[in-house]
Amino acid sequence: MSKTLSLPKKPTPAPTQAARPAARDWRDTAAAGRPAPSRSPAQKPLSPRPQPAPARAQPASQRPAVPRRSGLLSDSEPVRLNKRLSDLGLCSRREGDEWIERGWVLVNGKTAQMGQQVTALDQIEVAPQATAQQGARVTILLHKPIGYVSGLPEDGHQSAAVLVQPRTRWQEDRTPRRFEAGHTRGLAPAGRLDIDSTGLLILTQDGRVAKTLIGEDSEIEKEYLVRVHWAPNGPKGAGVVVQNPQAVFPPERLALLRHGLSLDDQPLRPAQVEWQNEDQLRFVLKEGKKRQIRRMCEQVGLHVVGLKRIRIGRVLLGNLPLGQWRFLGENERF
C-alpha cells in the first residue's frame, strides 16, 4: 500500500511585531586584563555578574585549519568587518552590523565603524553584551501546515511564524525554556518550505543557526518524502499514472533526478533520490532553490501531489504534531 500525505486546510491566525532594544555602551564595564570566559551553549542565558572581559577572536595562527575554496581572500586582503565576524563563526553578517552599530565590536582596541574593512591580522574583540544577547535568542522547530508561507506574508497568505504561540507549543517539549513574548520578535526562516508543502520548518533569532543552515558553504542535508504521479505530458495531459508510478518511471530519469538537472541555468548539486514505495520518493538535498523538488520532478515527467520535509541535518521532525512547535534543545545540533 502507498502512504498518503495529508493536506490540511489553511488556518488564519494573525502575526505580531515588536521594536528593537536600545543600544548600550559596554566599553566602561569590561575591566582591562580580566580573562575571557569560556563559551556557554548558545541557548543558555548568561549570568550578568560578574561582567567578563570582551571575547576575542583567535589569531589566525591559533585557529584550526579550515579548507579554503578557490577565490577566498588571503590573510592580508581586506574584507568588511561583518563578513569577518561571520567567517569566524561569531554571528551572521546582519548580527555583525547590529553589534557594530551598538558599539559592541573593537578592532585593534578601537570602536569599530559600520562598513569598516579588516584583515585576518587585525585583532577583533566582541562585548559580553553581544554574547549574552545571543544566549537569549531562540530557535524554534515548527511542523508547518499547508497554506502558510515560510517568510513574510504574501498574496493573502500568512507567515508560518504566526503559529508560534503559547497554546500551540507541543506539550511534549522537554526544553526548560519558558515561552516569552520576545521569542516571536525577529524570527526568520532558515530555509524555504513552500506554501503547498508541509513538514519541518526552522525559525530562528540566531544568525549563527541561519548561517549553518543556509549559508553559501552549508553542507546540511534536508530530507523530504514526496508523493508523485507519472505525468509525462503534464498533470492534465494524456498518460497520467496515479497508481504505482514507480512501475512505469524510466530508470534513466531517476538517474537524472540524482544528478544532471539544472534550474535557472545553474546545474544542481548531486542529490540522493530513491523510491520509498510505489508512489513515494525520498529526496535528500544540500541546497534549497525555490520549489526545487517540484521543478526537478516536472523536468522528468513527475507531478508532485504531496511534499513533506522530515529532517534537517541531525534534527528530525519526529512526532511533532502538525501546526505545533518546540524549542531547539540545548544539546541538539544540526
**Are the CB atoms for 118 and 33 separated by under 8 Å?**
no
194 an active-site residue?
yes
Instruction: Using alpha carbons, select from 290, 321, 305 the residue that is nearest to residue 226.
Output: 305
**Are the CB atoms for 199 and 160 separated by under 8 Å?**
no
Q: Compute the 3-state secondary structure of the chain and give helix, strand, coil in percent, each to the nearest 5.
A: 20, 25, 55
Interatomic CA distance for residues 333 and 41, integer angstroms: 11
Amino acid at 244: N
Which residues, in sequence order, are bridge partners of residue 140?
203, 327
Numbers of helices and strands, H then E, in the chain: 6, 17
Determine how β-strand 198-204 pairs with β-strand 302-312.
parallel
114, three cell numbers: 559600520
**Are the CB atoms for 139 and 202 separated by under 8 Å?**
yes
Which residues, in sequence order, are bridge partners of residue 229?
303
- Give, for 306, the enclosing helix (H) or strand (E): strand 302-312
Strand spans (E) along 35-173 = 55-56, 79-80, 105-107, 110-111, 117-118, 124-126, 139-144
Cα dihedral sign, 175-179-182-184: positive
Task: Show the DSSP H helices in 122-279 as ranges.
Answer: 128-136, 207-214, 251-258
Residue among 194, 196, 217, 265 flagged as catalytic = 194
308, three cell numbers: 513533506
User: Which active-site residues does the annotation give?
Assistant: 194
